[in-house]
Amino acid sequence: MASSQPLTLVSDTGTASVMALFHDVRARSVSLVAPLSDADASVQSMPDASPAKWHLAHTSWFLETFVLAGIEDYRPFDASFGFLFNSYYEAVGPRLARHRRGMITRPSLADVLAWRAHVDAAVARVAEALPADRLALLELGCHHEMQHQELLLTDILDAMAANPCEPSLWPAPRASASLAGHVGWTQHEGGIHRIGHQGKGTGESFAFDCEGPAHDVLLQPFALAERLVSNADWADFIADGGYDKPALWLSEGWAWRQAEAITAPLHWRAEEGWWSSFGLAGRAMLDADAPVTHISFFEADAFASWAGARLPTEAEWEVAAAGHDPRGGNQLDRAGAVAPHGTPAMFGDCWQWTASAFRPYPGFRVAEGAVGEYNGKFMSGQMVLKGASCATPRGSSRASTRNFFPPTARWQFSGVRLARDVQFGA
């Protein structure tokens, strides 16, 4: 998941609202690392993940680089931090390779938190005098950090799952709602529909560049499942040999499944008669009625084939989401053991794999400058996910949001909602 240039600038009178967002976002990030030791915050479980401390530092680097740089009397906290905490902005300068971020034992977590306080104080001091373009970058920085809050949680979950002690970071999450029972379907007519972020007047003043331009798409009639696929559904798939039937799988997916010996969702473990799963509250018996999560696109596609259905396209999902509250459902409000719990909503619980590749919309243009590097250059080899997860801050959730990951990615809160073709009047 990446961030980029916003489609619209905040208004000239938007400083107060941007600063309210800024203070809320920055405080939440710090609260997320409260249960972590310095060692916890420094560990990197795999090359695709980053240490929690790195997320805290990178989001401060972003503000220091794009909002505060060049402002009179501002002095960087430590000039050497740029090399350590630049992600992949080629135009900004050299950086530490991603797979080596776990080697950053120093600066310490305390040093990074001190840097954050330094940046926060500077932003608060200059906010009222920021020109419109810098204020837009500050708003972008807030949304960028919200994305990193989700990545921080999923990365630390992966790290704790790799710890032989399987530690619990937070108390158990609230009880699950039920996804049990028959899968209902909502039918949607075909025709020409408009998707993508449609700008001012929609109630959403901010969007990343890849969410537009808004454009028309032609859809055939389709139906979308009224609930997410549950753990019980997935256990049935496993019991029926779904991981052992190559006919269900895409060729590349089957090769990946064999090479990686994938036999169940990430963090699942077979117990006597059932399964357990590891989460931010530790290991516990699997809730049969909660949405399945931590599955790859390849697994989701194989399950859909087994179920006699398919994955929805990105456009189908977005059309079906019209009229649903993107801030509703189970999403991140505060620090804690977030977990999917089965709220019957289009948004929240888990990101939903679609059948659509992450490609530019018609008329898309990469933004000028370093911040334009983020989305456009990743439009290859990635699949789109829609809908937000239990770890997604509510302010990041829009019908037009386009999350994206490689088809083998499993460490996010990723799940599936089925679709199928329909024939009206048949």
Q: Give the integer Cα–Cα distance in Å for 230 and 126.
A: 49
CATH number at residue 314: 3.90.1580.10
What confidence tier does 6 reach under pLDDT thresholds 50, 70, 90? Answer: very low
Q: State which of 102, 127, 162 marks the end of a domain.
A: 162
Last residue of a domain, one of 129, 162, 195: 162
Note the pTM of the prediction, 2 decimals: 0.92
Let me know whether 153 and 253 are in one domain: no
What torsion, rounded to 10 degrees, do the Cα atoms 18, 23, 25, 28 define?
-170
Confidence of residue 2 (pLDDT cuts 50, 70, 90): very low
Chain segment 238-273, per-residue pLDDT in tens: 999 999 999 999 999 999 999 999 999 999 999 999
* Cβ atoms of 45 and 159 closer than 8 Å: yes
pLDDT of residue 82: 85
Give the span between the Cα atoms of 168 and 173, in whole angstroms. 11
- Looking at the structure, tell me whether residues 208 and 136 fall in a common domain: no
In a domain, 179, yes or no: no
> What is the C-alpha separation between 202 and 188, in angstroms, rounded?
22
426 falls within a domain: no
Q: Is the pLDDT of residue 351 over 90?
A: yes
- The letter for the amino acid at 326 is P
Do residues 403 and 383 lie in contact, with contact meaning Cβ atoms separated by under 8 Å? no
5 has a pLDDT exceeding 80 = no
Cα–Cα distance for residue pair 234/232, rounded to 1 Å: 5
Count how many domains the chain has.
2
Residues 73 and 23 in one domain: yes
**Domain of residue 155, residue span:** 15-162
**Predicted local distance difference test score (pLDDT) of residue 176:** 53
Angstrom distance (rounded) from CA 164 to CA 65: 38
pLDDT of residue 22: 97
Q: What is the structure's pLDDT at 1? A: 47
* Residue 220 and residue 315 share a domain: yes
User: Where is 356: in which H helix or E strand?
Assistant: strand 351-357
Of residues 391 and 175, which shows the higher confidence score?
Answer: 391
| pLDDT higher at 205 or 117 | 117
* pLDDT tens column, 49-90: 999 999 999 999 999 999 999 888 898 888 889 889 888 777
What is the structure's pLDDT at 12? 38
Among left, alpha and beta (phi > 0; psi -120 to 50; other), residue 134 is alpha
Q: Say if 167 falls within a structural domain.
A: no
The pLDDT score that the predictor gives to residue 203 is 58
Question: Do 281 and 157 lie in a common domain?
Answer: no
Q: How many percent of the chain have pLDDT more than 70?
A: 88
Q: How much is the pLDDT for 299?
A: 99
Q: Does pLDDT of 332 surpass 90? A: no
Do 172 and 287 meet the contact criterion of CB atoms below 8 Å apart? no
The pLDDT of residue 180 is 62
Residue 5 resides in a domain: no
Asked if the structure places residue 6 within a domain, the reply is no
Q: Are residues 100 and 199 in the same domain?
A: no
pLDDT of 300 over the 70 cut:
yes
178 falls within a domain: no
Any domain includes 176? no
The residue that leads in pLDDT, 84 or 176, is 84
Asked whether residue 211 falls in the same domain as residue 326, the answer is yes
Q: Are residues 228 and 290 in the same domain?
A: yes
Assess whether 85 and 220 both reside in one domain.
no
- Of the two residues 9 and 297, the one the predictor is more confident about is 297
The three state secondary structure string of 321-387 is CCCCCCCCCCCECCCCCCCCCCCCCCCCCCEEEEEEECCCCCCCCCCCCHHHHCCHHHCCCCEEEEC
Residue type, 229: V
DSSP symbols for 400-422? T--EEE-TT--SSSEE---EEE-
pLDDT at 21: 95
Average pLDDT, the chain: 89
Q: In this model, does residue 127 exceed pLDDT 90?
A: yes
Assess whether 71 and 194 both reside in one domain: no
Q: Are residues 219 and 354 in the same domain?
A: yes
Query: Is the pLDDT score of 426 beyond 60?
Result: no
Indicate the range of 40-49, 295-304, 370-379 predicted with least confidence: 370-379
State the alpha helices, DSSP H only, in 261-390. 297-306, 314-320
Domain-located, residue 317: yes
| Same domain flag for 376 and 323 | yes
Are the C-beta atoms of residues 139 and 25 closer than 8 Å to each other? no
